[in-house]
Amino acid sequence: MPAPLVRARYKEEPDDFEVEEVPAYEPSGSGDHLWLWLEKRGISTIDAVRHLARVLGRREREFGYAGLKDAQALTRQWVSIEHQDPAALEGLRLPHAAILRVTRHGNKLRAGHLHGNRFQIRLRGVDAAGLAALRANLDWLSSHGAPNGFGEQRFGKRGANLDKGLEILAHPDPGRIAAKMPRPVFRLLVSAVQSEVFNRVLAARIDRIDRILAGDVAWLHHNGACFRVEDPAREQPRCDAFEISPSGPLPGPHLLEARGEPGEIEAAAMAALGVSRDSFARLPTQSHPGVRRPLRVPVRDGSVEADPHGARVTFALPAGSYATAVLRELIADMPWFGGNGARGVQDPAQQPDAADPGAGPAAAAGDG
């Protein structure tokens, strides 16, 4: 990074962390599904939908949304509901939420139906020198990309999701466990293990996330397709142009595996957790088939402005990427993803062993 990291505080209040969903498509204005542009403050997407379901007399599963947004934030996103009388929404009062716009569309909003999220984040306690450092480093990230790690919220409080996911994979009959819990919960717990494998691979390659190695599986940013690299010298110019990036594994039985040094790094990450492709093949209905995820993520529309409390940082990320991945490249003393997930592992420069259901890159809305 061209400038030192700054010391700052964030998320002291929900309004310090503002997220606006960028939909994959705009509602058409006609159809059987009402689409609600929902603003919420200080509560999760699930809690907001629960309140909506209660006041409208509907079931929670009837609502659709593209991704889960952070609770400790001010967020805006689309929520859909079929065959709902819009008159019931007039004057509707919700705790910590409001419906800003109502329109219609022909289908239910599904998980992953978003391009990404725009973030406006207040960093408190930043001085003039800090503003200059933030601008220099955010400009650098706009050119080179940010590490695409999963945020700590992926792993639950004190890494509980990761621990439970490992227990499921180690069980002689994971199908029995799956039968005793809601399917989204089961998927989330196992996805935490996939995420931890990816974070460990990312930590091992943190200084080379913009370098293509022999045996890499490269990620095409324009469509998410992957291919195995045979000639890294030929592909590196495409990586320099941000057309492609090296990828890491969200392991599963159908994963396209890396070879050579990248493959050795990925195998070591899985072995350290006691899992393998076969661990995921035993899961019911092949719920986690295995996919790739780019090691870096493009940071778009970045800016840094002075704020009465310090600085306001603005940027956009693709679906499934975490704002904390960018903040770790800007702010000093943030916990590092990788190692033991959400359980306190710091920057690998300081420690040698270096954060929505579904494991695909676009299945979650990141820190949104």
Q: What is the pLDDT of residues 258-277, one digit of tens each?
A: 999 999 999 999 999 999 98
Q: Is-contact 34 102, C-beta < 8 A?
A: yes
Using alpha carbons, list the distances in angstroms from residue 153 to 10, 217, 258: 16, 27, 28
The catalytic position among 16, 70, 216, 356 is 70
d(CA 313, CA 146): 15
Angle, CA 42 vertex, CA 46 and CA 343 arms, to 5°: 80
Lowest pLDDT segment from 193-207, 307-321, 327-341: 327-341
- How sure is the predictor about 340, in pLDDT bands with cuts at 50, 70 and 90? very low
In words, the CATH class of domain 25-111 is: alpha beta
Mean pLDDT, rounded, for 278-294: 90
The predicted structure's pLDDT at residue 118: 97
pLDDT in tens, 74-114: 999 999 999 999 999 988 889 999 999 999 999 999 988 99
What is the share, in percent, of the chain residues with pLDDT greater than 70?
91
Residue spans in the chain of domains classed CATH 3.30.2350.20: 25-111
In a 13 Å sphere around the CA of 257, the CA atoms on its Cβ side amount to 15
Nearest partner of 329 among 95, 5, 2, judged by Cα: 5
d(CA 186, CA 182): 6
Residue 70 annotated as catalytic: yes
pLDDT in tens, 8-35: 998 999 999 999 999 999 999 999 999 9
d(CA 111, CA 61): 12
d(CA 157, CA 160): 6
- How sure is the predictor about 341, in pLDDT bands with cuts at 50, 70 and 90? very low
d(CA 265, CA 208): 13
Residues 155-296, CATH architecture? 2-Layer Sandwich (3.30)
Lowest pLDDT segment from 64-78, 115-129, 172-186, 346-360: 346-360
Residue spans in the chain of domains classed CATH 3.30.2340.10: 155-296
